[in-house]
Amino acid sequence: MKTYLTNQIKNVALLGNTGSGKTLLAESMMFEGKVIERKGTIEGKNTVSDYSEIEQQNQRSIFSTILYTEFLDRKLNIIDTPGSDDFVGAVISAMRPTDTVIMVINSQYGVEVGTEIFNRHADNMHKPMVIAINQLDHDKANFDQTLESVKQTFGKKVVQVQYPINPGAEFNAFIDVLTMKLYKFKGDTGIREEFPIPAEEMDKATELHNILVEAAAENDETLMEKFFEQGTLSEDEMRKGLSVGLTNRNLFPVFCTSGKRNIGTKRLMDFILNVAPYPHQVAMPKHEGDKEVSCDESAPTSLYIFKTSIEPHIGEINYFRVMSGKVTEGMDLVNSNNDVKERIAQLFVVAGKNRNKVTEMVAGDIGATIKLKSTKTNHTLAVSALNGIKYESMVFPNSKFRTAIIAKNDGDTEKMGELLNRAHQEDPTIIVEHSKELRQIIVSGQGEHHLNILKWHLSHLHKIEVEFIAPRIPYRETITKIATADYRHKKQSGGSGQFGEVHMVIEPHIEGAPAPSKYKIGGKEVNISVRGTDEVKLEWGGKLIFYNCIVGGAIDARFLPAILKGIMEKIEQGPLTGSYARDIRVAVYDGKMHPVDSNEISFKLAGRNAFKQAFKDAGPKIMEPVYDVEVLVPSDRMGDVMSDLQNRRAIIMGMGSDKGFEIINARVPLAEMNKYSTTLSSLTSGRATYNMKFAAYEQVPSDVQDKLLKAYEAEQEEE
């Protein structure tokens, strides 16, 4: 392949609801560009994009696939994405290296939940968007209704470039109001003839043309002046105006396609190549480092890795966008994230699993390389002259589905751990946590389906059978009032004995409260004088404050660390349920020693047991993690979703609406969110989505506390 220059490259991501026809449209684009000679089909399991076994089995895309086509002496890089929200990670990492989004909409159904969700992400990432109303050859195609739903969702920015003459099974023609022509297609060949607009369509076409001209003119002052003077614009002037509007997300042009029948594909590509922004026309992502870079082939070289995948027989493949300069075969670069030197031994342009070797690629292009030592998704590779420039990382939505995972065969646990870590590298939306606290490996992802695919991989490709089990909840324990305890540890066995006695007061720790000076103990006021303070910042949040208030040498100073150690044992394994305790202060104010039998172990045990005893009298409470949950629901399903949330002990914090969706903001205990994504999906036929984020620890209601205490007792008895 020849080397394409920055001003000969366009990068697009295909986005849209599952089943809208992205994969087939990509196939059609490659066919039109003669990158493939025959088009595959989804049912035939032979498309370039859905090349993995799991995708073919499911007849759905699961990963993003990097593709390209060559057209009009230019290179169009295409990334096909999955349409299910479970794989949103792939959608985000496809948008990052591309400059324009083609939102594919199924003309049978109009705007669907995926359209909404992915548009939100495209909007957050400021990606220009072209709309393709697709599957117009389907016998249930309804262009007018689809267009109506598009206008309702995206508002005034929607401008029509085309409309079909005969949507439905006979679909073979559309009118383009930019070129003011009728395009008619022969069978499925993609071969088209151009005709003047027929008289009966002239009024409609002219009206839409005028709207388009005005929309184009609005983006540029000189164009606007010209438009007022002449009442119209030339085709080139329109392209210029549309380009500015598109790039700024001020307008969303609408096209007509049938990927299956190769209708409209060429005109869509034409438009992308002529009107959508070039790689150097969009803002560079933010980066760390003192050097300025630009998307220019003569600048110093830097690459950004947007995807790492592991392919059978090859190993790790890193997909990159050339951010600046030119990358050549054999080039030495430095990984800015870990300072490792990497050699780009081989360079490829890729279309699915097909890789073609090239010798160089310039700024703005997308390619792949293999055999890097320690380079992964989100890393930057650059020449040393760029002083460790680092492009900002992609931001993925928080996890929605959390489960504990175990290997069915104990011997597989270690291998499973390694594979899970690798899965995270390939798909950053899979989060793996080896929790010491919960004594479980927790995996989180974007939905149950997402993690089931992971399970399939482990079993199918690595022969490791795993099971998902209920994840434990990281409860916390604390106290709500003051309590005292005196505890004597005494043991006499043969020779030397053990003796230690500790008197303590415990109470809730409140940040910023002054140290104690007086306590009421056994009805008497006791003055306290603090001799020493240990402030222990607990790894799991909160504090333990330990005051040494011993007077008159009742306990030797050398035994105080042992007492603290005993208390810490109970802080790490709380007296109620064995969970971490937090936010407690302890004042040890008296005790007794024995001249011979007192030692550290005795005081550790006395401290631990005194603490445990006092804890139980101090209004102990179990705290649970509570999450801020934002649910986006179509309004007709609002009732079901609300009552389900109420059953989950949710507190509704607010409600609103946005672009046809109701938004519910609620605070929900993590313990109640188990499998929420699955329930929500079945309550709304997959039309809702949600997001959750840790908010705080809150006390559990007393009925829940009772249940937890009983469960812990039963567990202890079992052990």
Ligand X SMILES: Nc1nc2c(ncn2[C@@H]2O[C@H](COP(=O)(O)OP(=O)(O)OP(=O)(O)O)[C@@H](O)[C@H]2O)c(=O)[nH]1
Binding site for ligand X (CB under 6 A): 16, 18-24, 42, 60-61, 82-83, 134-135, 137-138, 258-260
Q: Which is nearer to ligand X, 20 or 375 (CB)?
A: 20
Helix (H, G, I), strand (E, B) or coil at 245: helix
Given Mg ion, ligand X, none, residue 441, with its beta carbon under 5 to 8 Å by kind, binds none
Quote the least distance from Cβ 12 to ligand X, whole Å: 14
Quote the least distance from Cβ 48 to ligand X, whole Å: 12
Q: Is 23 in the site for Mg ion (CB under 5 A)?
A: yes
Which token pair is 245? 């509007």
Quote the least distance from Cβ 22 to ligand X, whole Å: 4
Q: Which is nearer to ligand X, 35 or 48 (CB)?
A: 48
Q: Which is nearer to ligand X, 20 or 602 (CB)?
A: 20
- Draw the binding track, 109-148, toward Mg ion (x: CB under 5 A; -: no contact): ----------------------------------------
For residue 87, CA distances in Å to 23, 220, 451, 543 come to 15, 38, 10, 39
Size of the site for Mg ion (CB under 5 A): 3
102, 254 contact by CB (below 8 A): no
Q: Which is nearer to ligand X, 20 or 403 (CB)?
A: 20
Given ligand X, Mg ion, none, residue 390, with its beta carbon under 5 to 8 Å by kind, binds none
Nearest to residue 670, comparing CAs of 476, 540, 509?
A: 476
Quote the least distance from Cβ 38 to ligand X, whole Å: 15
**DSSP letters of 499-519?**
EEEEEEEEEE--TTPPPP-EE
Q: Is 579 in the site for Mg ion (CB under 5 A)?
A: no
Given Mg ion, ligand X, none, residue 241, with its beta carbon under 5 to 8 Å by kind, binds none
For residue 500, CA distances in Å to 216, 448, 492, 605 come to 87, 54, 12, 8
Given Mg ion, ligand X, none, residue 666, with its beta carbon under 5 to 8 Å by kind, binds none
Neighbours of 34 (CB within 10 A): 10
Q: Which is nearer to ligand X, 23 or 309 (CB)?
A: 23
Q: Which is nearer to ligand X, 146 or 335 (CB)?
A: 146
Given ligand X, Mg ion, none, residue 137, with its beta carbon under 5 to 8 Å by kind, binds ligand X
411, 314 contact by CB (below 8 A): no
Helix (H, G, I), strand (E, B) or coil at 441: strand
Quote the least distance from Cβ 104 to ligand X, whole Å: 6
Quote the least distance from Cβ 257 to ligand X, whole Å: 7
Q: Which is nearer to ligand X, 22 or 326 (CB)?
A: 22
What's the distance, Cα to Cα, between the start and end of the chain in Å? 67
Residue with tokens 């086509």: 69
Distance CA 95, CA 122 (A): 7
Strand partners, 11: 77
Residue 352, sorted as left (phi over 0), alpha (psi -120 to 50) or beta, turns out to be: left
- Is 551 exposed, middle or buried, given 0-12, 13-18 or 19+ CB atoms closer than 10 A? exposed
Task: Looking at residues 254 to 293 of the shown chain, list those that interact with Mg ion (rule: CB under 5 A).
Answer: none
Q: Which stretch binds Mg ion (CB under 5 A): 17-25, 192-200, 371-379, 687-695?
A: 17-25
Given ligand X, Mg ion, none, residue 128, with its beta carbon under 5 to 8 Å by kind, binds none
Q: Which stretch binds Mg ion (CB under 5 A): 15-23, 231-239, 638-646, 699-707?
A: 15-23
Quote the least distance from Cβ 61 to Mg ion, whole Å: 3
* Helix pair angle (221-230, 199-217), 10° resolution: 140
- Draw the binding track, 57-76, toward Mg ion (x: CB under 5 A; -: no contact): ----x---------------
Distance CA 643, CA 317 (A): 47
Q: Which is nearer to ligand X, 508 or 686 (CB)?
A: 686
Nearest to residue 63, comparing CAs of 265, 262, 394, 306?
A: 306
Which token pair is 462? 């690595």
Q: Which is nearer to ligand X, 376 or 449 (CB)?
A: 449
Helix (H, G, I), strand (E, B) or coil at 645: helix
Given Mg ion, ligand X, none, residue 134, with its beta carbon under 5 to 8 Å by kind, binds ligand X
Q: Is 444 in the site for Mg ion (CB under 5 A)?
A: no
122, 95 contact by CB (below 8 A): yes
Distance CA 289, CA 336 (A): 10
For residue 504, CA distances in Å to 489, 555, 558 come to 14, 12, 17
Distance CA 576, CA 704 (A): 13
Q: Which is nearer to Mg ion, 23 or 98 (CB)?
A: 23
Given ligand X, Mg ion, none, residue 89, with its beta carbon under 5 to 8 Å by kind, binds none
| One-letter-per-residue 3-state SS of 283-301 | CCCCEECCCCCCCCCCCCC
Nearest to residue 629, comparing CAs of 397, 470, 414, 430?
A: 397
Quote the least distance from Cβ 139 to ligand X, whole Å: 8
Given ligand X, Mg ion, none, residue 42, with its beta carbon under 5 to 8 Å by kind, binds ligand X
Given Mg ion, ligand X, none, residue 16, with its beta carbon under 5 to 8 Å by kind, binds ligand X
Distance CA 546, CA 543 (A): 10
Q: Which is nearer to Mg ion, 260 or 604 (CB)?
A: 260
Quote the least distance from Cβ 50 to Mg ion, whole Å: 6
Q: Which is nearer to ligand X, 259 or 669 (CB)?
A: 259
Quote the least distance from Cβ 316 to ligand X, whole Å: 24
Q: Using CB under 5 A, list all residues that contact Mg ion.
A: 22-23, 61
